[in-house]
A and B are shown apart, each in its own frame.
Chain A
Amino acid sequence: MYRQTEIISDLSKTPPSEGLEGADMIINIGPQHPATHGVLHLVITLNGETIKKVEPHLGYIHRSIEKMCESLSYRQFIYATSRMDYLSSHINNHGCALCVEKGLQIEIPARAQVIRVLMDELTRIASHTLWWGAMAMDVGALTPFFLAFREREMINDIMEETCGARLTMNYMVPGGVMFDLHPNFQKKVKEFITHFKNKIDEYDELVTDNVIFRNRTENVGVISKEDAISYGMSGPSARASGVQCDIRKLYPYEIYNQLQFEEIIETGCDSFARYLVRMKEMRQSLSIVEQLIDNIPDGEFQAKTKAVLKLPKGEFYSRVETARGEFGVYIVSEGGTTPYRIKFRSPGFSNLSSLDHIARGSKIGDLVAIMGTLDFVIPDIDR
């Protein structure tokens, strides 16, 4: 069902209500507010407790990465993209590396492909665990936050050994990955798998079946399938509305078409459905890691590439599935060593465009549950 949201461009034109009782109130949330998880500024028009309009103001962490990339070489610009969606920096790097490889038509070694997928899925688990903790904290449960960080710390340690970084990895380069895996990698990942398998059941016990949590999220922030498509939503947020949009399934890259995993689709359309999708995705990612960890092929971890990369004249687009949705890289090349224009299609920006539509008519207390399940990372929105 398609619901038309009326666009209120100037609130001063709407007739003022009689007396104080029905009067509109304007409230600012952010840019410094714990529930926005970053510097997002929302101007909310309220009537009593009911939201009439949500107006996001962006740009508090806008660094103009797209403009910056125009003067960086095809090896350098990938490092800037780690700073966009810092919770899935591996996958951002991956998308950019894929786009350059598409332009240069490089075939990357099998070992590098497996390493990339392993890292992507570990990143997805790390990102979703952090989201789970932060989201539960938003709706009033403090303990999950500490539990989530315990598991995320294990993944960060694994990443640190191999990539040398804990947040901005810069590990994927055109042609493969930067270094080979650390000797401890397989052992540590296996430890993590056995540890996390028990913990995720604990997560479910603690939060998923909790009555208070269910009351806070069920039938809150409903968006229909048609609307989700029209608002360009992607990732878990769209899949909770029944949209089939997993890039790993629809347009498989690397070795995703040889792996056994399910695309999680829920039809609840509400905050709780979005929560369920992410919880189930963690199990799927864990199963992918399990399938691959004993089957890392030997060989080169990087294809031989020229020192200076030059993309042929033309346009290249590649997309990957980050923890938040579809991340696209659009490169316009003039044949030089630097891109003429780069556009990053970030999942958060499109998902944010639907916030006003979702939140209208709900209570202000529910806004936190809506924003929590949409999983915004502000540097990803601002770029």
Chain B
Amino acid sequence: MNGEELKIKLAELLPDITIEEGGEWLNVLIAPSSWLSFSNQLRNTQGLDLDYLFCLTCVDWKTHLTMVYHLTSTIHRHSIVIKSNLDRNKPEIETVSHTWRTAEFHEREVYELFGVNFLNHPDLRLLILPDGWEGKNPMRKDYEDPINIIKL
């Protein structure tokens, strides 16, 4: 499916999304509350079949956090990027680890490094950081560690 067809299809599925163009792929901005049902639709709708989550990450914009999901279809070979803005003080979004199983690991990484709380995640624990880690999340922009981080 090319960009135009994808846009029409996505607008049909969920009317209140914002679609940005310009980058390499279609950027879709959604509200965190609608993510769970939308992710299932993306995965299972015939013609979309976005079954491969190849990158899941988060960006700290100082005013808010943005979750970024890169999806592609192994059948039709089209890719889209899903973004969702979260409140920086209480970041919460539904997990997609039941839709794309690899997300279980990626979400654990984002959870510890950015402090995003994934609702209904089956096993939300620290993955990379040592057990008993307390304090702020190291990948946030305001994280300070005078001992372990050497400022360049």
Interface residues of A (CB under 8 A from B): 5, 7, 9, 57-59, 62, 64, 66-67, 71-72, 227, 229-234, 243-245, 250, 314-317, 326, 328, 330, 332, 340-341, 343, 345, 349-350, 352-354, 357, 382
B51 within 8 A of A: yes
Q: Flag if B127 contacts A58 (CB, 8 Å).
A: yes
Distance in Å from the Cβ of A257 to the closest Cβ of chain B? 15
Whole-angstrom distance between the alpha carbons of A233 and B130 in the complex?
Answer: 26
Question: What's the minimum C-beta distance from B152 to chain A, rounded to whole angstroms?
Answer: 5
Which of A62, A67, A231, A330 is within 8 Å of B101, CB to CB? A231
Expressed in whole angstroms, the Cα–Cα distance for A7 and B104 within the complex equals: 10
Cα of A57 to Cα of B23 in the assembled complex, Å: 36
Q: Are A230 and B122 in contact (CB under 8 A)?
A: no
A65 CB to nearest B CB, Å: 11
Chain A proximity mask over B69-95: 1 for CB below 8 Å, otherwise 0: 010001001000000000000000000
Beta-carbon contact of B128 and A232 below 8 Å: no
The 6 closest A-B pairs by CB, nearest first: A232-B102, A353-B105, A59-B128, A7-B122, A343-B57, A9-B123
Complex contact B54–A230 (CB within 8 A): no
**Interface presence of B138 (CB below 8 A):** yes
In the bound complex, do residue B77 and residue A250 qualify as a contact, i.e. CB atoms below 8 Å apart? yes
Q: Does A353 contact B101, Cβ atoms closer than 8 Å?
A: yes
B55 proximity list for chain A (CB < 8 A): 317, 328, 330, 343, 345
Nearest to B102 among chain A residues (CB) is A232
The answer, yes or no, to whether B29 is at the interface (CB within 8 Å) is: no
B59 at interface by CB-CB < 8 Å:
yes
A-B contacts, 6 of them at CB < 8 A, read: A58-B128, A229-B51, A317-B25, A332-B59, A343-B57, A343-B68
Residue in A58, A227, A244 whose Cβ sees the most chain B Cβ within 10 Å: A58
Contacts of A332 in B (CB 8 A): 59
Which residues does chain A contribute within 8 Å of B122, judged by CB atoms?
7, 9
Given A59-B127, A229-B51, A330-B55: A71 in contact with B152 (beta carbons within 8 A): yes
Q: Which chain A residues lie closer than 8 Å to B24 at the CB level?
A: 316-317
Question: Cβ of A230 and Cβ of B101 under 8 Å apart?
Answer: yes
| B:34-67 near A, CB below 8 Å | 51-55, 57, 59-60
Chain B positions within 8 Å of A67 at CB level: 138-139, 149
Q: How far is the CA of A357 from the CA of B101 in the complex (A)?
A: 10
- Check A7/B105 contact, CB under 8 A, given A59-B128, A67-B139: no
In the assembled complex, the Cα of A234 lies from the Cα of B102 at a distance in Å of 12
Contacts of A357 in B (CB 8 A): 101
Which of B54, B70, B152 lies at the interface centre, i.e. has the most chain A CB atoms within 10 A of its CB?
B54
Whether B23 and A353, one on each chain, are in contact in the complex, defined by CB atoms closer than 8 angstroms, is no
Closest-CB distance, A90 to chain B (whole angstroms): 22
Known: A341-B59, A343-B68. 4 other contacts (CB 8 A): A59-B127, A315-B23, A328-B54, A340-B59
Q: How far is the CB of B3 from chain A (nearest CB, A)?
A: 16
- Chain B residues with Cβ under 8 A from A227's Cβ? 101
Measured between alpha carbons, how far is A71 from B149 in the docked complex, in Å? 11
* Chain A residues whose C-beta falls within 8 Å of the C-beta of B105 in the assembled complex: 349-350, 352-353
Q: Complex formed: what's the CA distance from A287 to B120 in Å?
A: 49
Contact check: which of A232, A243, A340, A341 meets B53 at CB < 8 Å?
A232
- Identify which of A59, A71, A230, A314 contacts B51 (C-beta below 8 A): A230
Q: Could you tell me the distance between the alpha carbons of A245 and B72 in the complex, rounded to whole angstroms? A: 11
Give bound CA distance, A227 to B118, whole Å.
22
